[in-house]
Structure 1
Amino acid sequence: MSDWFAQLKKAKKSCIVDGKLKRVHFDFGDGREMVEEYNLDTNVVTRRAWRHNKELKGEDKWEVEIGDPEPVYNKEETVLIRENSNQPFVSRRITRTNLEWRIRNLPYPIETYSVTAEPDSKNLVVRTANKKYFKKLPIPDLDRLNLLPEQENISFSHKFNTLIITYKKPKALVDLEKAVLQEINEIQPKNQDMMNCKPS
């Protein structure tokens, strides 16, 4: 189907089930690890995070691709450290039919915003007419399939100081996700120990 799907099939996979979530760990054998969390009711990915092992002392941090960013703690005081709470920040979601970005702390009315597909950089670009905000949004889901973003698939809305950008999934991505879901559904949890799953 694609080089990306071939990598997923080849990766060493394991999983755990925790309530309504299925966590699947992919080890690609080249220092890359990916963890996806699937909602068992919807079969939609609710979280995807990456770690790139660098053979240095200490644990490498997970980079969140889908879902809310990891909280940052002060190691000595175990106190959550936040940037200015008024600064805009981006989180990503996936639904059955769409890719979604939520940019919080954007108070301007909806007519202020433009969201454009830029095939040359493979990004979506968010701009405000008042020049107060500019952001490039990568789309790794499309990039893995060598697909370019198309303007006709973009829509957006604004409420509660949050800009919600929706990108309709192309058929190739929908088909890929179905194939990946079928692949991970073959990793069955052991009944005697719900916290371990049979590696594939």
Structure 2
Amino acid sequence: MAVPSWLERLRAASKTALVQDGIRKIHYLFEDGKEMAEEYDVKTGVLVSRKWREKNTLGGSGKWQVEVGEPISPLLGALESELIKESSSNPVFMRKDTLSSFQWRIRNLPYPKEVYSVSVEQEQRCCVIRTTNKKHRLPLDAAALSFTHANNTLIITYQKPKEILAAEEQLQKELKKIKVANSGDGDCKTQ
């Protein structure tokens, strides 16, 4: 049996649509239980967002995974809000397409354009982003690089070089020398 094309999968899916605030919203339910939600600008026809979700191991609806558009930010006070979260100044990678092109955006990159180099690697069929900002000027070791994929997340790990580990160990020794103010034992004295 041939694998259905993308267009055939979309045609076979159960679909609902609505227009709200200039955005056409389409919800797809596929035969395998996966869901896809897309939003298009009504005036331009540009895809604004695309997100996916599938059933979790207990059969309930899983979390939405954004493919195109703004990442989903948890609402403050929501049950899913996290006590510990990434810094808002960390780079954020997202895809945002136009009618005629694919576009990827990386937010929170504070350096000027001259620091970055973007190229196409023909043999690997990929785009590569490089930076001339080098913190440590150490050679890269391919053996230190590994990756895994779990829960719809690609996790790339690069083992820290021994020089970095030694510098961090020295820093921790220095930090331990700093006198810590008494955290208070309930014995508050006034002057």
Q: Same fold (TM over 0.5)?
A: yes
**Equivalence for 1:7:** 9
Cα distance, 1:106 vs structure 2:
0.9
Confirm or deny: 8 A CA contact 2:54 2:61 kept in the other structure: no
Structure 1 segments of 4 or more deviating over 3 A? 73-82, 118-123
1:113, CA displacement in angstroms?
Answer: 1.0
Post-superposition CA distance 1:89-113 (Å, at most 9, x none): 1122111222212211111221221
Report what 1:68 is aligned to: 70
TM-score, length-scaled by structure 2: 0.59
Matches within 5 A, 1:42-61: 42-56=44-58, 58-61=60-63
Residues 109 and 49 from structure 1, CA distance in 2 versus in 1: closer, same or farther, beyond 3 angstroms? same
Identify, as 1 or 2, the structure richer in strand: 1
Render the CA deviation track for 1:29-84: whole Å, top value 9, x for unaligned: 11211110011111111010001213426531000111111112454596897521
Q: 1:112-157: CA deviations, max 9, x gaps?
A: 212233455544222212246xxxxxxxxxxxxxxxxxxxxxxxxx
* 3-state SS in 1 of match to 2:102: strand
Please name the residue that 2:93 is paired with. 90
Identical columns (%): 42
Unaligned runs of 5+ in 2: 136-191
Q: CA-atom RMSD, angstroms?
A: 2.6
Change (3 A) 1:53 1:118: farther
Say if 2:53 and 2:61, in contact at 8 Å, map to a contact too. no
Asked if the contact 2:41/2:47 (under 8 Å) is kept, the reply is yes
Residue aligned with 2:17, SS? strand
Distance 1:105 1:119, change over 3 A: same
What secondary structure, in the 3-state scheme, does the structure 2 residue paired with 1:85 have? coil
Conserved 8 A contact 1:31-1:54: no
In the aligned structure 1, how far is the partner of 2:8 from the partner of 2:31? 13
Scaled by the length of structure 1, the TM-score of the pair is 0.57
Contact 1:65 1:92 in 2 (8 A): yes
- What are the superposed Cα offsets for residues 164-192 of structure 1, whole Å, 9 maximum, x if unpaired? xxxxxxxxxxxxxxxxxxxxxxxxxxxxx
* 2:117 corresponds to: 114
Match of 1:22 in 2: 24
8 Å CA contact 1:16–1:22 kept in 2: the answer is: yes
Distance in 1 separating the partners of 2:51 and 2:61: 15
Between Structure 1 and Structure 2, whose CA radius of gyration is higher? 2
- Aligned mates of 1:37, 1:80 — CA distance in 2: 30
Q: Aligned residue for 1:105?
A: 108
Indicate how the Cα distance of structure 1 residues 98 and 53 shifts in structure 2: closer, same or farther if over 3 A, else same. same
